[in-house]
Amino acid sequence: MAQEAAIRRGGKSPTRTQSTPALAMRLRYERLLHRLTQRDLADELGISVSQVQKYEMGRASIPLDRLSQICNFMGVPPAHLLEPIEPDMPELERLRDSITFAMTLIRNGDPDLRRSMMALIESVLADEAARR
């Protein structure tokens, strides 16, 4: 609505998203979920790794055309990345835990240890699901 009013007044349509912690966190989460490195995403978008880092830290706004590129590449709708996250939502805590866990796995250079950890987690989750 504000966008339409700005256009009627002769202004331009916004070309950038407003950087928010939720957008930054969701972007990083989706990247990790798709098992992509920041380099993978940067190469796909034709930007530097440091720019991807700025997006994921919420230090830079994402141009709308770039957001569209990201969503197409990851196969998620833009609304998914733009949904607000309330600070007290359990989803936020899960996102933080998931990112921390994924980064721990990524930083560990031993592929056998990573596979063993993932097998253990999958086993625990399967047991949990079976009990329900």
4-31: pLDDT as tens digits: 333 334 444 456 666 677 888 889 888 8
**What digits encode the pLDDT tens for the residues 38-69?**
999 999 999 999 999 999 998 999 999 999 99
Instruction: Please indicate, yes or no, whether residues 69 and 123 belong to a single structural domain of this protein.
Output: no
Instruction: Please indicate, yes or no, whether residues 102 and 44 belong to a single structural domain of this protein.
Output: no
pLDDT at residue 85, as a whole number: 63
Number of domains in the chain: 2
pLDDT at residue 52, as a whole number: 95
Instruction: Please indicate, yes or no, whether residues 65 and 100 belong to a single structural domain of this protein.
Output: no
**What digits encode the pLDDT tens for the residues 83-131?**
766 655 566 677 777 777 777 777 777 788 778 877 887 787 777 777 7
Instruction: Please indicate, yes or no, whether residues 70 and 110 belong to a single structural domain of this protein.
Output: no
Instruction: Count H helices and E strands in the chain, helices first.
Output: 8, 0
Residue 1 lies in domain: 1-84
pTM for this predicted structure: 0.57
Instruction: Please indicate, yes or no, whether residues 91 and 79 belong to a single structural domain of this protein.
Output: no
Instruction: Please indicate, yes or no, whether residues 79 and 90 belong to a single structural domain of this protein.
Output: no
Among residues 40, 51, 28, the alpha carbon closest in space to that of 100 is found at 28
Distance from C-alpha of 5 to C-alpha of 76, rounded to nearest angstrom: 29
pLDDT at residue 126, as a whole number: 78
